A and B are shown apart, each in its own frame.
Chain A
């Protein structure tokens, strides 16, 4: 290209720009009309915008049999038989004819498309055909080749040389280097997200040693704040948030992923590893905890808990969400477009879309509903402590489970006792009642197993009478078994809420019609268990069996009860004074009195048994073994299998009094371990399900259609390496990650480099950060983008190296001021003949105020925190309704990065400054300038509190007269000394506010008490309040929230 011929042209462009606003910003590449037409630079954008929707990659929508995105197709005759393009014969080409036609039936693009071509675009297309209609592969899909770099002068790196080469052709000169104070602020904001302290600025300014700038850069990049700053953009990109997003928008455990990102940037984790860990950390060999935390990436999407949501619907939403994420984060491709149809502009088909989605079909998750708690993520000390608890629990477990030869004797006795209990139990027979009723009016049911179940009306006092007309001869004992039942509160056996009862008296009598009642007396009674708890008012000192045959000598309050053994069977054995037999016509009535009188302590389920053998009427001292245990107990010790033996010992140990202490210790250790574990952080991670979900192509994206082709995971066909096409194993997420960072993939390195360029220069080299397809923008500096991409990849994906290359370049260090015609000609700084200037991001706005005020608590990582928020902001959340408790202590003053991210209601201060809601992956944020920002900085208590704390600093840390203090304060906030007129304006404010607050000291105190931060003693409220308004003014300045 010839600089001399371009010069007048450049002027013309400038003039045209001034004369017609819309061209100012479009400012088509100046070289377009000079030299040969280049397809990618000049033609593809026109075809893509105006033609491809009908004549592009989406063959389903192709019109007239003409496809223009591939040369071999475009040169073929269309359906009409005419050839759209005849190379070197523009006049003969149907395309040109159609472009220029007056006939609206013929004209292309058709008027109803609302995409008319400009005359200069038509001219370009004609020139292109005349020059041979050469195509180029789409720029972003070409292999990355490191371009040759001109020889440079001292201190000029690759970036500068490539920029200089282009500036020379534009006849532009780079702007001079910015002054040191500006650079200090720029570097500090760009690399740490915080403004520099005045001391830092002074030291940086004073350091004139060779390599000083680079050393300061390294110093900033080695602070932990660097990782926080870099994480911020990544968290938007991957839509990191604390809540699920849809409908109820409930919390989920995920913050350890955020800390992983911060750590990764601070440790300069190579970007390829960073990629593999997030997409497939769980699939890496011997996956570390770090890698598994990273795999939480796959869980960051929106999920739902809404009732009535349909699985297939959300399965499809999750699939498309994940594919869009990979498209945005790594590929810079709008793959999402291919959900319903082949992509209209880029070579991505609907089949590609779903085969990409199939990579994620193995992510184990509930489609609808609460997210699981996730993996434990203890810190090092926490892990040690957890290990200590685990070891202790394990030690006690082993001690308990190990051999205990010293207990052989006890074991033998235990077995004997149980065998005896079984023997005595077998001597009892359940008697069949002929009738039963409740004097209180409860419902009484006699069941097939001869038990009696009470239901219906709840009673505090009752008596249940059970009648028997047929008994064995010579009954010597009566048994009352109380039994649990599902119908009873807490499973019974009583009807009190806790399953308890109080049996106050058991009365037996023989009744015969027309004859006097014969009382039947008991002389002894035993229970399997007697309640001792809550017995302080009981005259027996416990809820004893004895009180059921004391004829209520000590009142009706006392009786037999069984806590804490509710929910299990228990029994009472009563010995008759005299053996009992029934004569013909006689019946036995047993009355179970329950006269406790409180809290429904009546019986729920019981069974009456009789014994005729005196050997049965013995204390039921040990719990009756269940059938399984009974079986094993009966086996002769010599004949026992080891398994039977182990089971018996286990039963024995779980009740042996000799081991009571050990059991208590063990339970305590287990509980302590569990309690401690409950306090540890957890995070959602990716776990692989053995059976991946079936993924089908959904025609038009409609999940109700379940007949689409089943897709296996695959790299989009246009990019698919031949090796992978041949693979016979099902590909997985690790294959996807490996491909993304492989040399065959031309996209990732370019996409990432371009995003960082935007971070440090304000606009990407290709402006459309999230679309590197045909509808995006070919990079303004293609060689520079490729040089950086090559450098990034060849350095082993070294992010710090990339950042260092950018921020140490002369291009970066240029001043951001420029003559106004420069600003007008190049408002987005596409030519790089200066630096950019922009309002800092939401988090940085907050962080700056905290830093300047001295409130900032620089702790790294941990659970998200809650800055003050207006009451009722969450009132439209539901399931459940939620209140908001602002964090207290240091957590109130953490960096914006740690703010609780409630997707459906992102913190309003953050939102006002364009923070992303993180519902979708977002590669860049708006930089808006709206009145809500003024309201936040003026009135949000966080900023008022920052101002009053800043004012306290001014009053305590600075000295001298008002002007000196104002100068000191100015430097804190703006990293530079103020002009006299600036001091004067602030002094005017200070004085007027002093006068006003002096008239209302009450108001001054109220004002300076805003927020939870402790109030330093010894400050005069009026002074303090006036200075607080000065501090507010400083924190509100445009310059304070601007990086320049």
Chain B
């Protein structure tokens, strides 16, 4: 993907200014120059350790400083989790009224007889607000008053791959930047020696683990430095992080020092601003070789924290990733995205959601609780969302098909109004009928909380002002 003129300009400005500060200032008077430069440029000039943002100053005062996005990959059933539908239980086994389904996209149930399938798990009320949730989510229920439940979510896409793309980039065409890239491009990153956008993945034990492509965290036409870095559970957490066999840290340091020394010597001859960036990147890479393993090492967490999350260090579970998410948040990482797979319950939805609840219920509660006790929940925005929901109709007698006309997500922290329910689906849980929300709206709201006007975060690409929210998006004022 080619960089737009505008981004190139942004980067060149940084570079050019750095060049001036570093060298050209002799001829022009460093003071005069300094006065026209914003502080972030000075930071950029010092090192590439942290990345400054394109939106400065912010368009609004920021309520949130970072995002933790919990992607429930496969498409969780809202009907067995967070959207109670007694009427659907009554209609169980009866034909789905055509008035609900006419003109709507249908995935695997195309051309089949559509039969109502009642909720397979009981619901109960939680918290002061008395939100009705599936009773398996007792831990999450215990913090339900912190959460805003959006029960009127919709998506344009109905197959996994395009739906993930749409949820992440606001477009079903491959090659657009992921929201994590947008956010780090807009705000920069405060993380020293860590990437600004980090991705973690975990598997479920039900075996319905849909593929996830790396394009879901790709920077699209934004510069590569804004790409999401996948921290892996196995092998090097960041690819090529480990030194070669037989090479010690001191030995590696010696090599890096020599490279930087030689690059500096060359820079003195050719005067190329790319070289100082290169030197900074080698320093950062070398630092990452210790900062990332330190980050991943959760053994140092006290026993109370380990038991709060219910995970063991290095078990690769969703709970472990939630704990890592908190550690990343503490270190200034801007956008942290967790994928937890195995939500694709075409069959055995009851058992599937039981498995999932066991895997995520405590972990989600722990993340909220832990951030809150560190006073970080107020400026950390958590979003829990699948790429779509599931049909109120049965598939194969025990499962549910993909469904994009109405489903539930939840948000928490970062200035989102706690303990409320927003929007509703119809009485059978098919379509969002009250305050429907689309993906662009969520993006617009997320950016708003971060202090960004979504209509003003754009880059030029192929002649267009490309935005995360396309030409749509509306901030959901009622939940902020």
Contact = CB atoms under 8 A, between A and B. Distances in A.
B9 A22 contact: yes
A792 to B, nearest CB: 22
B318 to A, nearest CB: 15
Given A308-B402, A931-B281, A931-B284, A908 B1 contact: no
A771 B6 CA distance: 14
Q: How large is the interface on A (under 10, 10 to 19, 20 to 34, 35 or more residues)?
A: 35 or more
Interface stretch (B76-84, B231-239, B366-374): B231-239
A72 to B, nearest CB: 24
Interface in A893-949: 903-906, 908-909, 911-912, 914, 916-917, 919-920, 922-926, 928-936, 938-941, 944
Contacts of A920: 1, 173-175
Interface in B151-165: 158-162
B262 A1033 contact: yes
A308 B5 contact: no
Contacts of A802: none
Contact of B285 (A827, A934, A1025): A934
A249 to B, nearest CB: 7
A74 interface: no
Interface centre among B16, B28, B236, B256 (most CB of A within 10 A): B16
Contacts of B262: 982, 985-986, 1033, 1037
Interface stretch (A432-440, A722-730, A988-996): A988-996
A931 B288 contact: yes
Given A1005-B246, A1038-B274, A704 B238 contact: no
B17 interface: yes
B211 interface: yes
Contacts of B37: 21
A344 to B, nearest CB: 8
B142 interface: no
B274 A870 contact: no
B31 interface: no
Given A817-B271, A820-B23, A920-B174, A704 B214 contact: no
Given A933-B281, A935-B285, A24 B13 contact: yes
Nearest to A114: B456
A721 B143 CA distance: 68
Given A839-B274, A931-B284, A917 B218 contact: yes
B281 A993 contact: no
Contacts of B36: 19-21
Contact of A1038 (B254, B278, B402): B278
A306 interface: yes
A770 B2 contact: yes
Interface in B85-109: 103, 105-108
Contacts of A823: 19, 271, 273
B435 interface: no
A377 interface: no
A13 to B, nearest CB: 15
A926 B261 contact: no
Interface stretch (A163-171, A773-781, A804-812): A773-781
A777 B5 contact: yes
A307 B174 CA distance: 19
A304 interface: yes
A340 to B, nearest CB: 9
Contacts of A767: 5
Contacts of B120: none
Nearest to A21: B13
B244 A1010 contact: yes
A704 B103 contact: yes
A661 interface: no
A154 interface: no
Contacts of A837: 270, 272, 274
Contacts of A770: 2, 462
In the A-B complex, the 10 residue pairs with the smallest Cβ-Cβ separation, listed nearest first, are A775-B463, A1007-B246, A904-B213, A308-B107, A934-B285, A1006-B246, A919-B174, A308-B108, A928-B224, A1003-B246
24 contacts: A25-B16, A114-B456, A247-B211, A308-B110, A310-B106, A336-B173, A704-B103, A768-B5, A820-B23, A875-B234, A876-B213, A911-B214, A917-B174, A920-B174, A923-B2, A924-B2, A926-B3, A931-B285, A935-B288, A938-B252, A939-B240, A1002-B246, A1033-B255, A1038-B266
Interface of A: 18-22, 24-26, 114, 245-249, 302, 304, 306-310, 313, 317, 334, 336-337, 345-346, 704, 767-771, 773-777, 817, 820-821, 823-824, 827-828, 837, 839, 870-873, 875-879, 903-906, 908-909, 911-912, 914, 916-917, 919-920, 922-926, 928-936, 938-941, 944, 979, 981-982, 985-986, 988-989, 992-993, 996, 1000, 1002-1010, 1025, 1029, 1032-1033, 1036-1039, 1042, 1044
